[in-house]
Amino acid sequence: MISRSKSDDLFAEALKYIPGGVNSPVRAFRAVGGQPFFVNKARGAHIWDVDGNEYVDYVGTWGPAILGHAPAAIIKAVQAAAENGTSFGIPNPFEVTMAKLICSFVPSVQKVRMCNSGTEATMSAIRLARGFTRRDKIIKFDGCYHGHADSLLVKAGSGALTFGHPDSAGVPASFTQHTIVLPFNHREAVKAAFEANRDQIAGIIIEPVPGNAGLYLPLPGYLEFLREITQANGALLIFDEVMTGFRLAKGGAQELFKITPDLSCFGKVIGGGLPVGAFGGRAEIMDCLAPLGPVYQAGTLSGNPLAMAAGIAALQELDRTDAFYRLEQSGQALEAGLREAAIKAGIAVTFNRCGSMFCGYFTDRPVHNLADAMTSDRERFKKYFHGMLDRGVYLAPSQFEAGFISTAHSPEDVEKTVAAAAEVFQTL
């Protein structure tokens, strides 16, 4: 049995000073039971905890580590930038380089504004959509998470046309009254919402490939439908590509599915592991932002030189290598191996994958939306999670989170993962 005594001691200490002992809820292992471990080193596709245990890592800082942990190009860029100062609060050259890179990678983005997190990016994009259209209502979808801004922490109402109600204590109901929550991959619900709220909907915000309820994909033609119905009704289409941006393809999910949104939100990969966010889109929309327009958005650390240097190094590395080909090859190998292992064990697993993002649900039905995802056997997932962890493979500690593959994952890492899963499946 693996010893994690040092982690246990640290967690006990953390509980005294940090709510729940963690600085982000999913790290607490509440969904899988047990206690979190503490990491003090990460390199490539591997992490080491404070007790010296080594794991193949498929969390990857929840997405940013597309090149693996501590890649030389990013470490070198951060060190060089830090020598000249860690923050200025004044424009710096890295900001211009980053903006040019994002606009060149993502054709729908003509102008971009940097911020410090995905939550800031989505919150600001929605404010901008409302300011540009002079409308109040926003459509979002069950299972799509867009950060913890008040108006986006919303549960679905009792029917397709009802407004959502707060998904967190501390959020007044009035803050969510303009947010309409609909089931993902359901065209008729979207049509009905526009019909019931004529000339009131500012836009639709969507994860084009939702990665916060596990992982499921848009049905064929669904994103095209959303593009058409927003254009027909004078609303904006906002792609939340905080997870998918620069990961599923050089230009993100919008390149993969050949869709042109009005606004896009980014994070994770463009920070190279440092805190970052960005939102961008058509110039006429972006020029509504202060100081040019009436929509206010600001941030002391926006465009931080360390984050910009790290992100630039990450994007340049992705651009000059065969990274996306290698990510797809690793994804295919992992998917095929896990499917075969589940079949041999007689375990019902629905495995969804899009490029280097994946999720396995313990259900025998296809998973296209949150309701489908909720049919997964979560008790079985708990056993699977801990079985994999004990065999040196770290997956997200929740059934409803995506896994991430990096260019640092080797064929041997994939083989070890499949072998571990084959053993664990036999025990479920």
| Whether residue 270 has pLDDT greater than 80 | yes
| Whether residue 161 has pLDDT greater than 50 | no
Instruction: Give mean pLDDT, residues 120-132.
Output: 97
| Whether residue 158 has pLDDT greater than 80 | no
Catalytic residue among 49, 57, 142, 240: 240
Catalytic residue among 268, 361, 372, 413: 268
Please say whether the dihedral angle defined by the alpha carbons of residues 417, 423, 425 and 428, taken in this order, is positive or negative. Answer: negative
Q: In this predicted model, what pLDDT tens digit does every residue of 397-422 receive, in sequence order?
A: 999 999 999 999 999 999 999 999 99
Phi, psi of 372 (to 5 degrees): -65, -45
The confidence band for 163, taking pLDDT boundaries of 50, 70 and 90, is low
pLDDT higher for 157 or 331? 331
258 is catalytic: no
CATH class held by domain 72-320: alpha beta
Q: Do domains 5-70+322-425 and 72-320 have the same CATH topology?
A: no
Catalytic residue among 55, 58, 145, 384: 145
Q: Which residues contact 425 (CB under 8 A, 6 or more apart)?
A: 341, 342, 344, 345, 347, 384
Which residue has tokens 């959303």? Answer: 226
Contact 142, 156 (CB under 8 A): yes
The reported pLDDT for the residue numbered 44 is 98
Helix or strand holding residue 106 (H, E): none
Domain ranges of the chain: 5-70+322-425, 72-320
414: tokens are: 């994939």
262 is catalytic: no
Cα of first residue to Cα of last residue in the chain, in angstroms, is 18
The reported pLDDT for the residue numbered 159 is 42
Can you tell me whether residue 96 is helix, strand or coil? helix
The confidence band for 157, taking pLDDT boundaries of 50, 70 and 90, is very low
The partner residues of 201 in beta bridges, in order of sequence, read: 137
Q: Is 149 exposed, middle or buried (0-12, 13-18, 19+ CB in 10 A)?
A: middle
Q: What CATH code would you report for 5-70+322-425?
A: 3.90.1150.10
145 is catalytic: yes
Q: In this predicted model, what pLDDT tens digit does every residue of 63-97 receive, in sequence order?
A: 999 999 999 999 999 999 999 999 999 999 999 99
Q: What is the DSSP string of 129-196?
A: HHHHHT--EEEEETT----S-GGG-EE--SSTTSBPEESSTT--GGGGTTEEEE-TT-HHHHHHHHHH
Q: In this predicted model, what pLDDT tens digit does every residue of 368-402 receive, in sequence order?
A: 999 999 999 999 999 999 999 999 999 999 999 99
What distance in Å separates the CA atoms of residue 175 and residue 173, rounded to the nearest whole number?
A: 5
The reported pLDDT for the residue numbered 171 is 79
